Structure 1
Amino acid sequence: MRSKKSLRAVVLLFAVVVGLLPWVGPAQAHGTIINPQSRQYQCWKTWGNQHMNPAMQTQDPMCWAAFQANPDTMWNWMSALRDGLAGQFQARTPDGQLCSNGLSRNNTLNQVGAWKRSNVGQSFTAQLYDQASHGADYFRVYVTKQGFNPSTQSVGWGNLDLVATTGRYAPAQNISFSVTAPGRSGPHVLFVIWKASHMDQTYMWCSDINVV
């Protein structure tokens, strides 16, 4: 009888503690740019199933550093959101923190170095994958200026040109939009802001591209 009472007490205590924890379920699971791959998605996609592989340190040193600093950045590639920015993206996101969306836990995404790049033309299609199908009020799409060197420079607002602002998108898991970056060649950073439709939630990502 005593053991049964003790077990019931433990179960009750567990239920109370769980009830006090913040909810981080599907409401926090959204998405990212999967083509060209955002930094966190590229690291997860390439190394998620072999994140303990020592070869990552030499083959993909930027992802290796990110996994060493905080593996959750990659495991939760779909959840790099900020609430309540009210459209004040530039005022509330300092230079050098754009790729992490101003989130300190994802700070390694801001690091300068040899991130893996996707080859694109001066006109290409970007694709968002949104697990929760929340749709978009709009996307703001930026590309770094010609002459910017992503191997030695961190991304700041002054390094970017706004190349597109889209309209609304209905809820869907896959959303695509066109990007045109004339006058550019070589390594660049694609920077995308997604304003989700269901509430004031904002995502920002960096995708490393090579314009060919």
Structure 2
Amino acid sequence: MLGTLVAVLVSLITWGGTASAHGSVIDPASRNYGCWQRWGSDFQNPAMAEQDPMCWQAWQADPNAMWNWNGLYRNGSAGNFQAVIPDGQLCSGGRTESGRYNSLDAVGPWKTTDIGANFTVKLYDQASHGADYFLVYVTRQGFDPTKQALTWNDLQLVARTGRYAPSQNYSIPVNTSGYTGRHVVYTIWQASHMDQTYFLCSDVNFR
């Protein structure tokens, strides 16, 4: 039993190492980054099932999704995002990486980050890929992510940027109005080093 546990932990550390080459939105935290941040050091704690049920189902489905919190991308989309990512699969990047991130599409009460009408999306890019652009969307008022699967028609574009030079930290200022309560902030990051695109769901509560 002990040997099995050690083998599992070693494999998880190995998986985690692959995450270092990419990036994700860290504020407001993307779904899998938030799960890793809250539970990475205690991911086998059964209390998670009651305290953080959406993260619990994600850890149970595939711990790789959290250890590789910054590997949720697709190559070769050529900007045709709606063509390669079906409705209901936006948070997994269209079930990218052989379905590793499928649990992020699950509908339910994901933990939220409180934000105001004007907020900043902060993205960590460990590999310094740079960005051709970022697109930031907010779900329409009235959409309920605890009960409805996310579709492209639910998104409203609130920010589009130009190029960002390679760095490890990017900040995207976003100005909105009219949003209240629970929403999903959906960030698309088009990296500069190749046609590699990241699709990132962050659950928020507009104060």
TM surpasses 0.5: yes
**Counterpart contact for 1:27–1:132, Cα < 8 Å:** no
Number of residues paired by the alignment?
Answer: 189
Counterpart of 2:185 in structure 1 is 190
SS in 1 for 2:82: coil
Structure 2 partner of 1:202? 197
Inter-partner Cα distance in structure 2 for 1:80 and 1:159: 21
Q: Which residue of 2 aligns with 1:97?
A: 89
Task: Write the letter of the residue equivalent to 1:185.
Answer: T
Q: Structure 2: which 5+ runs fail to align?
A: 1-16
Contact 2:19 2:67 in 1 (8 A): no
Structure 1 residue 181, shift from structure 2 partner: 2.5
Q: For residues 150 and 27 of structure 1, do their structure 2 counterparts lie closer, same or farther at Cα, with a shift above 3 Å needed?
A: closer
Residues 137 and 155 of structure 2 are in contact (CA less than 8 Å); yes or no, is this contact kept in structure 1? yes
Deviation at 1:28, TM superposition (A): 7.2
Give me the identity figure in percent.
Answer: 59
How far apart in 2 are the matches of 1:200 and 1:28? Answer: 19
Contact in 1 for aligned 2:137/2:157 (Cα 8 Å): yes
C-alpha offsets along residues 103-159 of structure 1, whole Å, 9 cap, x if unaligned?
222111001101000000011011000010111000011000000111101110010
Name 2:114's counterpart in structure 1: 119
Q: Runs of 4+ in structure 1 displaced over 6 angstroms?
A: 25-28
Give the TM-score, by structure 1 length: 0.86
Q: d(CA) in 1 for partners of 2:41 and 2:101?
A: 20
Taking only aligned residues, the RMSD between alpha carbons, in angstroms, comes to 1.5
CA contact (8 A) 1:138 1:167 kept: yes
SS at match of 1:49: coil
Partner of 2:139: 144
1:39 corresponds to which residue? Answer: 31
**Paired residues for 1:74-93 under 5 Å:** 74-93=66-85
Which residue of 145, 154, 158 corresponds with 1:159? 154
Deviation at 1:91, TM superposition (A): 1.4
Moved more, 130-139 or 174-183: 174-183
Equivalent-residue separation in structure 1 for 2:60 and 2:125 (angstroms): 27
Letter in 1 for 2:168: Q
| Structure 2 CA distance for aligned equivalents of residues 32 and 70 of structure 1 | 18
Structure 1: how far apart are the matches of 2:19 and 2:25? 18
Larger radius of gyration: 1
Residues 116 and 26 from structure 1, CA distance in 2 versus in 1: closer, same or farther, beyond 3 angstroms?
A: closer
In structure 2, the residue matched to 1:16 is none
TM-score by length of 2: 0.88
Q: 2:123 aligns with which of 105, 128, 139?
A: 128
The 1-side partners of 2:151 and 2:23 are apart by 23
